[in-house]
Amino acid sequence: MILYGAPNPAPNPRRVRIFLAEKGIDLPETRIDMMKREHKSPEFRAKNSMGQLPALELDDGTCIAETVAICRYFDETQPDPPLFGTSPVEKAVVDMWVRRTEFTVMTPVGMFWRHAHPRTAALLTQFKDFGESNKETYKGAQRYLNRELADKTWLAGERFSMADICLLTTVDFADWIGLPLEDEYENLKAWHDRASARPSATA
Protein backbone atom coordinates (compact mmCIF):
# COMPACT_ATOMS: atom_id res chain seq x y z
CA MET A 1 0.00 0.00 0.00
CA ILE A 2 1.36 3.41 -1.01
CA LEU A 3 0.06 6.80 0.11
CA TYR A 4 1.03 9.59 -2.27
CA GLY A 5 1.03 13.06 -0.80
CA ALA A 6 2.80 16.37 -0.39
CA PRO A 7 4.14 18.37 2.55
CA ASN A 8 2.47 21.28 4.27
CA PRO A 9 0.90 23.66 3.54
CA ALA A 10 -0.99 21.44 1.06
CA PRO A 11 -4.24 20.91 3.00
CA ASN A 12 -5.60 17.75 1.40
CA PRO A 13 -2.61 15.45 2.00
CA ARG A 14 -2.50 16.81 5.55
CA ARG A 15 -6.10 15.72 6.10
CA VAL A 16 -5.10 12.12 5.50
CA ARG A 17 -1.98 12.37 7.65
CA ILE A 18 -4.03 13.73 10.56
CA PHE A 19 -6.64 11.02 10.07
CA LEU A 20 -3.99 8.28 10.10
CA ALA A 21 -2.38 9.79 13.21
CA GLU A 22 -5.75 9.76 14.98
CA LYS A 23 -6.16 6.12 14.01
CA GLY A 24 -2.65 5.16 15.03
CA ILE A 25 -1.94 3.88 11.52
CA ASP A 26 1.74 3.99 10.55
CA LEU A 27 1.80 4.49 6.78
CA PRO A 28 4.67 6.61 5.49
CA GLU A 29 3.76 9.16 2.84
CA THR A 30 5.45 8.94 -0.55
CA ARG A 31 6.04 12.57 -1.49
CA ILE A 32 5.17 13.88 -4.95
CA ASP A 33 6.86 17.15 -5.89
CA MET A 34 4.03 19.49 -6.80
CA MET A 35 6.44 22.33 -7.61
CA LYS A 36 7.93 20.12 -10.32
CA ARG A 37 4.39 19.21 -11.44
CA GLU A 38 5.02 15.53 -10.79
CA HIS A 39 1.34 15.10 -9.92
CA LYS A 40 0.49 16.01 -13.53
CA SER A 41 2.88 13.49 -15.08
CA PRO A 42 1.51 10.65 -17.22
CA GLU A 43 2.86 8.16 -14.67
CA PHE A 44 0.92 9.71 -11.81
CA ARG A 45 -2.20 10.34 -13.88
CA ALA A 46 -2.25 6.61 -14.56
CA LYS A 47 -2.91 6.25 -10.82
CA ASN A 48 -5.17 9.31 -10.39
CA SER A 49 -6.57 10.66 -13.64
CA MET A 50 -7.34 14.01 -11.97
CA GLY A 51 -3.65 14.54 -11.33
CA GLN A 52 -4.29 15.58 -7.73
CA LEU A 53 -3.02 14.64 -4.29
CA PRO A 54 -3.43 12.64 -2.15
CA ALA A 55 -3.92 9.20 -3.64
CA LEU A 56 -3.84 5.75 -2.07
CA GLU A 57 -2.63 2.75 -4.06
CA LEU A 58 -3.72 -0.57 -2.56
CA ASP A 59 -1.76 -3.79 -2.76
CA ASP A 60 -3.95 -5.06 -5.60
CA GLY A 61 -3.27 -1.91 -7.67
CA THR A 62 -6.59 -0.19 -6.92
CA CYS A 63 -6.09 3.57 -6.57
CA ILE A 64 -8.35 5.69 -4.37
CA ALA A 65 -8.27 9.47 -4.65
CA GLU A 66 -10.11 12.26 -2.80
CA THR A 67 -9.36 12.76 0.88
CA VAL A 68 -12.74 11.76 2.29
CA ALA A 69 -12.79 8.56 0.21
CA ILE A 70 -9.30 7.62 1.38
CA CYS A 71 -10.20 8.29 4.99
CA ARG A 72 -13.44 6.32 4.69
CA TYR A 73 -11.40 3.34 3.48
CA PHE A 74 -9.26 3.48 6.61
CA ASP A 75 -12.31 4.03 8.83
CA GLU A 76 -13.79 0.82 7.44
CA THR A 77 -10.60 -1.22 7.74
CA GLN A 78 -9.71 0.10 11.21
CA PRO A 79 -12.93 1.38 12.81
CA ASP A 80 -11.48 2.32 16.21
CA PRO A 81 -11.57 5.18 16.97
CA PRO A 82 -14.53 6.03 14.74
CA LEU A 83 -13.97 9.33 12.92
CA PHE A 84 -17.09 9.22 10.75
CA GLY A 85 -19.50 8.43 13.58
CA THR A 86 -21.04 5.14 14.68
CA SER A 87 -24.81 5.50 14.60
CA PRO A 88 -26.77 6.45 11.46
CA VAL A 89 -27.41 9.89 12.95
CA GLU A 90 -23.76 10.49 13.87
CA LYS A 91 -22.60 9.41 10.43
CA ALA A 92 -25.11 11.71 8.74
CA VAL A 93 -24.13 14.67 10.92
CA VAL A 94 -20.41 14.15 10.22
CA ASP A 95 -21.13 13.95 6.49
CA MET A 96 -23.21 17.12 6.74
CA TRP A 97 -20.36 19.04 8.36
CA VAL A 98 -17.76 17.70 5.95
CA ARG A 99 -19.89 18.99 3.08
CA ARG A 100 -20.56 22.31 4.77
CA THR A 101 -16.85 22.76 5.41
CA GLU A 102 -15.96 22.00 1.82
CA PHE A 103 -18.59 24.25 0.29
CA THR A 104 -18.93 27.05 2.83
CA VAL A 105 -15.35 27.35 4.03
CA MET A 106 -13.02 25.75 1.48
CA THR A 107 -14.73 27.30 -1.54
CA PRO A 108 -13.93 30.94 -0.69
CA VAL A 109 -10.46 29.97 0.53
CA GLY A 110 -9.82 28.09 -2.70
CA MET A 111 -11.14 30.92 -4.85
CA PHE A 112 -8.91 33.45 -3.08
CA TRP A 113 -5.94 31.11 -3.53
CA ARG A 114 -6.61 30.59 -7.22
CA HIS A 115 -7.56 34.13 -8.20
CA ALA A 116 -5.83 36.52 -5.79
CA HIS A 117 -2.66 34.89 -4.48
CA PRO A 118 0.67 35.65 -6.21
CA ARG A 119 1.84 32.02 -6.07
CA THR A 120 -0.92 30.90 -8.43
CA ALA A 121 -0.65 33.84 -10.84
CA ALA A 122 1.69 31.96 -13.17
CA LEU A 123 -0.48 28.85 -13.25
CA LEU A 124 -3.83 30.20 -14.47
CA THR A 125 -5.77 33.26 -15.53
CA GLN A 126 -6.70 35.19 -12.43
CA PHE A 127 -9.76 37.36 -11.88
CA LYS A 128 -8.37 39.33 -8.96
CA ASP A 129 -11.48 41.32 -8.07
CA PHE A 130 -13.38 38.05 -7.73
CA GLY A 131 -10.52 36.51 -5.77
CA GLU A 132 -10.35 39.41 -3.33
CA SER A 133 -14.12 39.33 -2.86
CA ASN A 134 -13.76 35.93 -1.25
CA LYS A 135 -12.11 37.50 1.80
CA GLU A 136 -15.51 38.74 2.94
CA THR A 137 -17.15 35.45 2.02
CA TYR A 138 -14.65 33.63 4.21
CA LYS A 139 -15.29 36.04 7.07
CA GLY A 140 -18.97 35.27 6.72
CA ALA A 141 -18.18 31.56 6.95
CA GLN A 142 -16.24 32.21 10.15
CA ARG A 143 -19.17 34.12 11.61
CA TYR A 144 -21.48 31.20 10.80
CA LEU A 145 -19.11 28.65 12.35
CA ASN A 146 -18.70 30.79 15.45
CA ARG A 147 -22.45 30.61 16.02
CA GLU A 148 -22.57 26.88 15.39
CA LEU A 149 -19.72 26.19 17.83
CA ALA A 150 -21.30 28.17 20.67
CA ASP A 151 -22.39 25.04 22.57
CA LYS A 152 -20.32 22.26 21.00
CA THR A 153 -16.87 20.89 21.70
CA TRP A 154 -16.38 19.69 18.14
CA LEU A 155 -17.96 20.54 14.83
CA ALA A 156 -20.22 17.50 14.60
CA GLY A 157 -20.92 17.24 18.32
CA GLU A 158 -18.95 15.94 21.30
CA ARG A 159 -16.63 13.63 19.37
CA PHE A 160 -13.65 14.72 17.26
CA SER A 161 -14.36 13.65 13.69
CA MET A 162 -13.43 13.92 10.04
CA ALA A 163 -15.39 17.17 9.96
CA ASP A 164 -12.93 18.73 12.39
CA ILE A 165 -9.99 17.46 10.36
CA CYS A 166 -11.42 19.03 7.21
CA LEU A 167 -12.02 22.35 8.96
CA LEU A 168 -8.63 22.45 10.71
CA THR A 169 -6.68 21.86 7.51
CA THR A 170 -8.78 24.45 5.71
CA VAL A 171 -8.42 27.26 8.24
CA ASP A 172 -4.70 26.57 8.67
CA PHE A 173 -4.20 26.74 4.91
CA ALA A 174 -6.30 29.92 4.81
CA ASP A 175 -4.05 31.48 7.42
CA TRP A 176 -0.97 30.52 5.39
CA ILE A 177 -2.31 32.31 2.30
CA GLY A 178 -3.24 35.43 4.25
CA LEU A 179 -6.77 34.77 5.50
CA PRO A 180 -6.50 34.55 9.29
CA LEU A 181 -9.18 33.65 11.79
CA GLU A 182 -10.82 36.80 13.15
CA ASP A 183 -10.19 37.44 16.85
CA GLU A 184 -13.81 38.35 17.46
CA TYR A 185 -15.00 34.82 16.75
CA GLU A 186 -14.13 33.40 20.16
CA ASN A 187 -15.97 30.07 19.81
CA LEU A 188 -14.26 29.31 16.53
CA LYS A 189 -10.85 30.28 17.91
CA ALA A 190 -11.41 28.11 20.99
CA TRP A 191 -12.30 25.19 18.72
CA HIS A 192 -9.13 25.86 16.71
CA ASP A 193 -7.04 25.84 19.89
CA ARG A 194 -8.54 22.49 20.92
CA ALA A 195 -7.98 20.94 17.51
CA SER A 196 -4.45 22.32 17.21
CA ALA A 197 -3.54 20.91 20.63
CA ARG A 198 -4.20 17.35 19.52
CA PRO A 199 -0.96 15.46 18.75
CA SER A 200 -2.30 14.57 15.29
CA ALA A 201 -2.36 18.25 14.30
CA THR A 202 1.39 18.20 13.78
CA ALA A 203 1.07 15.66 10.96
Return the domain boundaries, the chain: 2-77, 88-202
Q: Is the pLDDT of residue 150 over 90?
A: yes
What are φ and ψ of residue 29, in 5° steps?
A: -90, 130
Q: Per-residue pLDDT tens for 88-136?
A: 999 999 999 999 999 999 999 999 999 999 888 888 889 999 999 999 9
| pTM assigned to the model | 0.94
Tell me if 2-77 shares its fold with 88-202. Answer: no
Q: Which CATH class is domain 2-77?
A: alpha beta
Other beta carbons within 10 Å of 88: 8
Q: Peptide bond before 82: cis, by omega within 30 degrees of 0?
A: no
**Rounded Cα gap, residues 59 and 67, in angstroms:** 19
Q: Which CATH class is domain 88-202?
A: mainly alpha
